[in-house]
Structure 1
Amino acid sequence: MANLAKLEFVALDVSGNNYLSWVLDAELHLSANGLKDTIDPEKIPTVEQNAKAIIFHRHHIHENLKSEYLTIKNPLTLWNNLKDRFDHQKLVHLPSTRNDWISLRLQDFKSVAEYNSAIFKISSKLILCGENITDAEMIEKTLSTFHPNTMILAQQYRERNFQKSLDTSHRLCPVT
């Protein structure tokens, strides 16, 4: 029988491909519902908190995973088992995400908004994988990928010492 209750976020896939985003969503929802202590080994949650948390976890994992972990009644144990099983996803995604970062170029996009969307998506993935990407690094990445004909413009932007990423409302002018 399919789950009748609506999911707050996408359930953890049996392959674990969405583990990194699932962990963030799960932690946020557990915090919002006062259940974060159930996945903290240094805290002692109440029986009621544990029951709510295990129901929450089971509701947000794939049916096959639910069957595999059916006998686990402690949310911390389930959390750790899923982490042991899927936390390697960081290592799986990191090389391709680094490659995406390296090959990212402003000139490959029709607008700054499209470029900004791509750079934020890639930087978010890098952060999920444990890499720290600062605004300064994103700005330098953007400026270093300007077309050679506009390097003077890039230098002028550097001299202005911007602290935030480029404005998304401007369209790029075609290089003539």
Structure 2
Amino acid sequence: MSNLTKLEFVALDITGKNYLSWVLDAEIHLNANGLGDTIKVENKASNQEKVKAMIFLRHHLHEGLKMEYLTIKDPLILWNNLKERYDHQKTVILPKARYEWMHLRLQDFKSVSEYNSAIFRISSQLKLCGEKVTDEDMLEKTFSTFHASNVLLQQQYREKDFKKYSELISCLLVAEQNNELLMKNHESRPTGSTPFPEANVVVNGPTRGCGRGHGRARGRRIDRGCGRGHNRGGLNSYSKRAKNDENHKRKTSGSNNHSEDSCYRCGGNGHWSRTCHTPKHLVDLYQESLKNKSKGNGKMPRVETNFVDEEGDSDYGNMDVTHLDIADFFADPNGKIDHLIGDGNVQQ
């Protein structure tokens, strides 16, 4: 009973559109099971064989057809009734198949395989309807429908004197594959140009640590660390190194900015307070100016630190002008002199 749930081929549709193919499939399977005589006129099949053939035929019918032929128990009667009902499909399919054969052209298809499938389908329909289609007909149909740009190619195939359509179609399929490969190689890059190098490939020689030879700096940079557990992806390694370089530049620029900050002891630039060698009286003067700034309106007063008139008089009235003497530059009684450089920095 398990065989009843499985169809050997497509069941006959109630419209009869697949009748021609269904008849062929049913006849083949009945002969394969030893039941082919049950659908022949004046057969001598046993009742058991007729029952098996009837079960098989009904199993491959549409549900509506099963109900219409519910009372028929002889497979030969069922076979003839179906033939009388749907045999007119030949007269319906034949005109369409003839029309398709007449307008079939090789140049209308994108590939040889599509054309081959179409010509076999149409020729099969013609044969089922009683029309005779030979290899000579199929060869002539193919030769006469080549594209006009392939006239010479068509003549060359004719001169090979093919006897079977299968031989011609095999040559066409091989030629099509070769042409596709030729076009891919042609379109891969412009004529006369060199191929693009693959990613992570060093053209100038082996890289350091990955083979013999020195190579160039660029190749060594991309492939550095090969075989040492590093990331071998050239782009990833390069991006990591670029990120580290950027961080290093930020740190360096940060330290330079810090070194250019003003010394909060003397107000000078280019040094820190712990390395400041500015004399004490200049430091006191700078600190006093800061105090005046905090007490005033927020603006630092302008102070002339080294302006002295020849006679001791100042053109600025009562403004306090600091007088500097060479003795102010002695660091100790031994006579070593501190030299002021630039904006107040001291070097000994």
TM-score by length of 1: 0.91
Cα distance between partner residues in 1 of 2:154 and 2:141: 11
Residue of structure 1 equivalent to 2:67: 67
Cα distance between partner residues in 2 of 1:43 and 1:73: 15
Retained in 2: the 8 A contact 1:107–1:145? yes
Q: What residue identity is the alignment partner of 1:31?
A: N
Cα distance between partner residues in 2 of 1:12 and 1:112: 32
Q: What residue identity is the alignment partner of 1:48?
A: Q
Which structure carries more helix by proportion?
Answer: 1
Cα distance between partner residues in 1 of 2:42 and 2:78: 16
Q: How far apart are residue 4 of structure 1 and its match?
A: 6.1
Q: What residue identity is the alignment partner of 1:59?
A: H
Q: Does 2:87 correspond to 1:87?
A: yes
Report which structure shows greater RCO (CA 8 Å, sep ≥6): 1
* Deviating 4+ runs (over 6 angstroms): none
Cα distance between partner residues in 2 of 1:78 and 1:71: 10
Retained in 2: the 8 A contact 1:106–1:146? yes
Three-state SS of the structure 2 residue aligned to 1:171 is helix
Retained in 2: the 8 A contact 1:139–1:164? yes
Q: How far apart are residue 19 of structure 1 and its match?
A: 0.0
Residue of structure 2 equivalent to 1:48: 48
Q: What residue identity is the alignment partner of 2:109?
A: F
Retained in 2: the 8 A contact 1:37–1:45? yes
Three-state SS of the structure 2 residue aligned to 1:37 is helix
CA 98–129 in structure 1, closer or farther in 2 if over 3 Å, else same:
same
Task: Select the structure of larger CA radius of gyration.
Answer: 2
Three-state SS of the structure 1 residue aligned to 2:38 is helix
Three-state SS of the structure 2 residue aligned to 1:104 is coil
Cα distance between partner residues in 1 of 2:79 and 2:94: 22
Retained in 1: the 8 A contact 2:139–2:164? yes
CA 42–151 in structure 1, closer or farther in 2 if over 3 Å, else same:
farther
Q: Does 2:23 correspond to 1:33?
A: no
Deviates more, 1:71-80 or 1:106-115: 106-115
Retained in 2: the 8 A contact 1:112–1:170? no
Residue of structure 1 equivalent to 2:23: 23
CA 33–42 in structure 1, closer or farther in 2 if over 3 Å, else same:
same
Cα-Cα RMSD: 1.8
Cα distance between partner residues in 2 of 1:169 and 1:63: 47
Structure 1 unaligned regions, length at least 5: none
Residue of structure 1 equivalent to 2:144: 144
Retained in 2: the 8 A contact 1:110–1:171? no
Q: What residue identity is the alignment partner of 2:70?
A: L
Cα distance between partner residues in 1 of 2:174 and 2:55: 44
TM-score by length of 2: 0.47
Retained in 2: the 8 A contact 1:106–1:112? yes
Three-state SS of the structure 1 residue aligned to 2:176 is coil
Retained in 2: the 8 A contact 1:111–1:170? no
Cα distance between partner residues in 1 of 2:156 and 2:43: 52
CA 124–169 in structure 1, closer or farther in 2 if over 3 Å, else same:
farther
Pairs aligned (count): 172
